[in-house]
């Protein structure tokens, strides 16, 4: 059976930088508190004219160029986002049109920060069955539009950005060894944007309504995140007969430095094998893992034959891991 392989990546970060010092002017916080508790120094903020599809299109164009492919080669587009352009049509439909990828079916994935790994898992199945040969997976978010900028417990954590990957079948040993995804809806109230659907009606942040902003139980989320991510990481290794010593690069969801360090410690992965860029971008939700993967490749942190472990965790709750032989 074919193995699915990432053959090109791309990312896009909006130009506007918001530092912790900028946030000190908005809420009662400090650079010192944010750095110590999260590891985040600054984040990017999308322009008012930009929607999530605009960011995703830029990341996808770069991924296509990297893979040496044209938009018309794409057969399926999966867009993971918690901040869609609108309820419908899908953000994926806008990405498809913006790229000129008229041969591709396109759909959104709603798994918040784990969305990119959910997307990889779906892409992997289509490649393995031979149904599609070339698939684009995008994670794109404008979290700044669903933040309550008066709530210091959440507004300091998130940022905007997009990452993308092109997936094809592999002719050799390289590719995704396995992907493992989970959901537990009993934790739905840990992390949610309640006023953004049919349960509580549609609030509009643009009109000062905060019901559709992120509501989060930070401490509870922290503990569960560490447990679930380390468990699924171990499962990915064990199901391939591998151990944490075999990992060349560990790319976790960039939510909080302390969460990342706790997982790395539980797994026994040394800090030099852990990729972190959250100091620059904060938590970009579904975009976090593909942006980090793209940066790791650009910085030559991944070579042919390396074993890469990616892990994420998000609202739902959802969590997942993918083990990749590069």
Catalytic positions are 113, 253, 283
Q: Which residues contact 237 (CB under 8 A, 6 or more apart)?
A: 243, 244, 246, 247, 309, 323
Residue 315 sits in the site that holds ligand ACO (CB under 6 A): yes
**Span between the terminal Cα atoms of the chain, in Å:** 18
Which ranges of the chain would DSSP assign to H, the alpha helix? Answer: 20-24, 31-38, 52-67, 91-99, 115-129, 152-155, 218-238, 257-267, 278-281, 288-298
Q: Which of 37, 41, 70, 231 binds ligand ACO (CB under 6 A)?
A: 37
- x/- contact string, 94-133, with ligand ACO (CB under 6 A)? ------------------xx--------------------
Find the helix or strand (DSSP H, E) in which 107 lies. strand 105-109
Nearest to 310 by CA among 115, 65, 35, 127: 115
List the structure tokens of 129: 């069955």
The alpha-carbon radius of gyration of the chain (Å, integer) is 18
Looking at the Cβ atoms of 20 and 90, the one nearer to ligand ACO is: 20
Residue 253 CA to residue 106 CA, distance in Å, equals 24
Q: And the tokens for 115?
A: 């969305």
> Is the link from the previous residue into 89 a cis peptide, with omega within 30 of 0?
yes
Binding flag, residue 41, ligand ACO (CB under 6 A) = no
Is 285 among the residues that bind ligand ACO (CB under 6 A)? yes
Please choose, out of 44-52, 131-139, 181-189, 310-318, the segment that lies near ligand ACO by the rule CB under 6 A: 310-318
Q: Quick one: CA torsion of 275, 279, 280, 282, rounded to 10 degrees?
A: 100
Shortest separation between residue 152's beta carbon and ligand ACO, angstroms: 4
CA distance 103 to 73: 7
- Segment interacting with ligand ACO, rule: CB under 6 A, options 181-189, 201-209, 289-297, 313-321: 313-321
| DSSP label at residue 203 | -
Site residues for ligand ACO, 180-199, by CB under 6 A, read 191
The CA dihedral of 112, 116, 122, 126, to the nearest 10 degrees, is 150
Between 200 and 223, CB nearer to ligand ACO? 223
Figure out which of the listed residues 41, 70, 128, 153 binds ligand ACO, where binding follows CB under 6 A. 153
Among the listed ranges 83-91, 128-136, 219-227, 298-306, the one in contact with ligand ACO (CB under 6 A) is 219-227
Least Cβ distance, residue 21 to ligand ACO (angstroms):
13
Please check whether residue 283 is in contact with residue 276, taking contact to mean a CB–CB distance below 8 angstroms: no
Kindly tell me which of 134 and 318 has the beta carbon lying closer to ligand ACO: 318
Interaction with ligand ACO in 231-260: which residues (CB under 6 A)?
A: 255-256, 259
Residue in 149, 182, 222, 326 binding ligand ACO, rule: CB under 6 A: 222
CA–CA separation, 230 vs 159, rounded Å?
A: 24
Q: What is the nearest approach in angstroms of ligand ACO to the Cβ of residue 180?
A: 18
Sign of CA dihedral 194, 80, 312, 260: negative
Q: How far is the CB of 52 from ligand ACO (least distance, A)?
A: 15
Mode of pairing for the β-strands spanning 249-252 and 215-216: unpaired
Does position 29 bind ligand ACO by CB under 6 A?
yes
Question: Taking CB under 6 A as the rule, does residue 149 contact ligand ACO?
Answer: no
Smallest distance from the beta carbon of 297 to ligand ACO, in angstroms?
Answer: 22
Please give the structure tokens belonging to residue 18: 């918001």
Q: Is 33 in the site for ligand ACO (CB under 6 A)?
A: yes
Question: What does the block give as tokens for 52?
Answer: 């999530």
Is 175 near ligand ACO (CB under 6 A)? no
Footprint of ligand ACO (CB under 6 A): 29, 33-34, 37-38, 112-113, 152-153, 156, 191, 216, 218-219, 221-222, 225, 255-256, 259, 283, 285, 313-315
């Amino acid at each position: 059976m074919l193995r699915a392989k990432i053959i090109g990546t791309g990312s896009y970060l909006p130009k506007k930088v918001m530092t912790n010092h900028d946030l000190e002017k908005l809420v009662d916080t400090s650079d010192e508190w944010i750095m110590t508790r999260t590891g985040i120094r600054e984040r990017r903020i999308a322009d008012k004219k930009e929607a999530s599809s605009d960011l995703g299109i830029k990341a996808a164009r770069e991924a296509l160029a990297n893979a040496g492919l044209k938009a018309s080669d794409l057969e399926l587009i999966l867009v993971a986002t918690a901040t869609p352009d609108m309820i419908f049509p899908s953000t994926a439909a806008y990405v498809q049109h913006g790229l000129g990828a008229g041969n591709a079916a396109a759909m959104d994935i709603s798994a918040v920060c784990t969305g990119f790994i959910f997307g990889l898992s779906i892409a992997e199945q289509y490649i393995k069955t031979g149904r599609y040969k070339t698939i684009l997976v995008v994670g794109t978010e404008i979290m700044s539009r669903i933040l309550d900028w008066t709530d210091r417990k959440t507004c300091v954590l998130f940022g905007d950005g997009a990452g993308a990957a092109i997936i094809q079948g592999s002719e050799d040993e390289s590719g995704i060894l396995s992907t493992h995804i989970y959901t537990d809806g009993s934790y739905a109230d840990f992390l949610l944007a309640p006023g953004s659907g049919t349960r509580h009606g549609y609030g509009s942040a643009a009109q000062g309504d905060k019901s559709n902003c992120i509501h989060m139980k930070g401490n509870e989320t922290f503990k569960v995140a560490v447990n679930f991510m380390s468990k699924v990481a171990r499962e990915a290794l064990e199901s391939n007969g591998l151990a944490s010593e075999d990992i060349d690069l560990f790319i976790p969801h960039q939510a909080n430095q302390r969460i990342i360090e706790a997982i790395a410690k539980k797994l026994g992965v040394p800090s030099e094998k852990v990729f972190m860029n959250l100091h620059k971008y904060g938590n970009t939700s579904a975009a976090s893992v593909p942006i980090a993967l793209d940066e790791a490749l650009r910085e030559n942190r991944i070579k042919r034959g390396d074993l890469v472990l990616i892990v994420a965790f998000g609202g739902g709750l959802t969590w997942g891991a993918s083990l990749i032989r590069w």
